[in-house]
């Protein structure tokens, strides 16, 4: 088992390091005082500290189902399985598909690739373009794999978003081939202009839709979920139970209390969108100014700006930048073959705005020294 570059970096860097590496939310936006109030409400009663059910707290599953329904994707609590973050959701589904094949994007989320590898799945990587996965290659692949893993909204690592027409086409292809789609959507609420309709909502009987509160409220709560039809979801409950009995009950109860005021949560999301859009804009301005060699496209939401610096050995650049106190992730981490390329992923949400300038300025200088 290989550890991820990002996680190992996270454990090594000091508080002084300027990190564009992890997919970390901005701590200043965590609603810690509201969650504190909810923790007080919950801990007035000892019953929230007892064992819970493997599917998750019913009242919380109701609230998550209601979020789908108000978006036009009719959903019941029985369609929701609460997981210890959506990382565990991936592991649960992968376990139920052990040793099969799966079509994924190239590049893709490193944590998913590691989960699939750990569960013996053969990964067929299909090129991802700025409007979504390459359709012909996707269709050719899924005919044999019958299983696909996609991140259509503000993808990790690229920040790309699938066009509406590609969403329609993929839904049709998945259904025509009796395949299953795993649609990972941790960033879908972090849009800058409009919310996209999930592919899963077009094919509810052939999809797992994965969500998370890690990017919108707090990663430390470790609350994610799987939305699926009962026929697909029910076999997963035994895995969940065997893996860790049930998801953290205190977190679930606190979250459930916090979400009693939906309009407050909506306001919080609006604030996140506004601030992250501004941070992205600022990041882009500094990139154009300090690192003009970096060819990239502008994300429509999420947490990442992705691109390349042609003809540069990124592994040397990352090491020299780390020595100077700045870190980012080389693109080769996000490909199954791990072959060298000149791509880079920048996270724009976590850093203080003053550090964005400082960090990109250092990278620009190191790059000049290399050339």
Q: CA 116 to CA 79: how far, in whole Å? A: 23
Q: Shortest gap between Cβ of 37 and a copy of itself (angstroms)?
A: 9
8-state DSSP, 260: T
In the complex with a copy of itself, which residue's Cβ is closer, 47 or 371?
Answer: 47
Is residue 298 helix, strand or coil? Answer: coil
Residue 25 near residue 227, CB atoms below 8 Å: no
Give least dist CB 231 to a copy of itself, A: 15
Name residue, tokens 């960090």. Answer: 359
Q: Which is nearer to a copy of itself, 220 or 262 (CB)?
A: 220
Structure tokens at 152: 């259509």
Task: Find the shortest distance in angstroms from Cβ 276 to a copy of itself.
Answer: 16
Shortest distance (Å) from residue 73 CB to a copy of itself = 26
d(CA 214, CA 349): 13
Report the residue number, 39 or 174, with the smaller CB distance to a copy of itself: 39
In order, the DSSP letters of 126-174 are EEEETTEE-HHHHHHHHHHH-EEEE--SS-TTT-----HHHHHHHHHHH
Total residue count of the chain as it appears in this document: 371
Q: Shortest gap between Cβ of 234 and a copy of itself (angstroms)?
A: 10
Residue at token pair 């990109």: 360
Contact 301, 185 (CB under 8 A): no
Binding site for a copy of itself (CB under 8 A): 1-4, 7, 10-11, 22, 24-25, 27-28, 30, 32-33, 35-36, 39-40, 43-55, 84-85, 87-88, 91, 95, 111, 114-115, 118, 214, 218-222, 235, 237-239, 241-251, 253-254
Coil/strand/helix, residue 324: coil
The smaller minimum CB distance to a copy of itself, of residues 141 and 218, is found at 218
Name the nearest CA neighbour of 217 among 278, 275, 265, 152: 265
CB–CB of 109/186 below 8 Å?
Answer: no
Residues 6+ apart with CB under 8 A from 360: 283, 286, 287, 290, 291
Minimum CB separation of residue 16 from a copy of itself in Å reads 16
Of residues 235 and 292, the one with the C-beta less far from a copy of itself: 235
Compute the least distance from the CB of residue 249 to a copy of itself, in Å: 3
Kindly state the smallest distance separating residue 152's Cβ from a copy of itself, in Å. 22
Q: How far is the CB of 32 from a copy of itself (least distance, A)?
A: 4
Q: Which is nearer to a copy of itself, 55 or 200 (CB)?
A: 55
Q: Which is nearer to a copy of itself, 237 or 312 (CB)?
A: 237
Count Cβ atoms within 10 A of the Cβ of residue 315 and give its class: 0-12 exposed, 13-18 middle, 19 or more buried.
exposed
Long-range interactions of 64-72: CB distance < 8 A, separation 24+? 64/211, 64/225, 64/227, 65/227, 68/227, 71/195, 71/197, 71/201, 72/197, 72/201
> Which of residues 87 and 145 has its CB atom nearest to a copy of itself in the complex?
87
Q: Kindly report the number of other CB atoms within 10 A of residue 146's CB atom.
A: 17
> 65 or 115: whose CB is closer to a copy of itself?
115
The maximal CA–CA distance of the chain, rounded, in angstroms, is 63
């Amino acid at each position: 088992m290989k550890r991820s570059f990002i996680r190992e970096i996270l454990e090594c860097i000091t508080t002084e390091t300027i990190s564009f590496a992890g997919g970390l939310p901005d701590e200043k936006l965590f609603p810690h005082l509201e969650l504190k109030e909810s923790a007080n409400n919950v801990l007035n009663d000892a019953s929230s500290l007892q064992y819970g059910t493997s599917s998750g707290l019913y009242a919380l599953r109701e609230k998550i189902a209601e979020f789908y329904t108000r978006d036009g994707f009719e959903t019941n609590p029985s369609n929701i399985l609460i997981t210890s973050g959506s990382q565990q959701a991936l592991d649960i589904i992968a376990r139920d598909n052990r040793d099969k094949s799966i079509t994924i994007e190239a590049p893709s989320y490193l944590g998913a690739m590691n989960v699939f590898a750990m569960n013996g799945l053969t990964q067929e990587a299909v090129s991802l373009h700025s409007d979504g996965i390459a359709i012909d290659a996707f269709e050719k692949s899924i005919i044999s794999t019958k299983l696909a893993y996609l991140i259509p909204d503000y993808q990790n690592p690229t920040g790309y978003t699938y066009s509406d027409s590609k969403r329609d086409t993929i839904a049709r292809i998945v259904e025509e081939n009796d395949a299953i789609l795993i649609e990972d959507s941790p960033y879908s609420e972090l849009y800058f202009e409009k919310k996209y309709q999930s592919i899963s909502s077009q094919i509810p009987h052939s999809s797992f839709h994965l969500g998370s509160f890690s990017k919108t409220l707090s990663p430390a709560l470790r609350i994610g979920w799987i939305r699926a039809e009962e026929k697909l979801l029910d076999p997963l409950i035994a895995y969940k139970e065997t893996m860790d009995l049930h998801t953290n009950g205190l977190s679930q109860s606190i979250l459930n209390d916090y979400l009693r005021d939906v309009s407050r949560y909506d306001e919080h999301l609006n604030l996140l969108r506004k601030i992250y859009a501004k941070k992205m804009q600022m990041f882009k301005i500094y990139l154009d100014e300090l690192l003009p060699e970096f060819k990239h496209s502008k994300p429509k939401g999420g947490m990442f700006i992705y691109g390349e610096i042609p003809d540069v050995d990124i592994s040397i650049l990352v090491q020299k930048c780390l020595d100077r106190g700045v870190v980012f992730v080389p693109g080769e981490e996000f490909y199954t073959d791990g072959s060298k390329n000149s791509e880079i992923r920048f996270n724009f949400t976590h850093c203080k705005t003053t550090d964005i300038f400082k960090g990109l300025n250092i990278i620009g200088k190191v790059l000049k020294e290399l050339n």
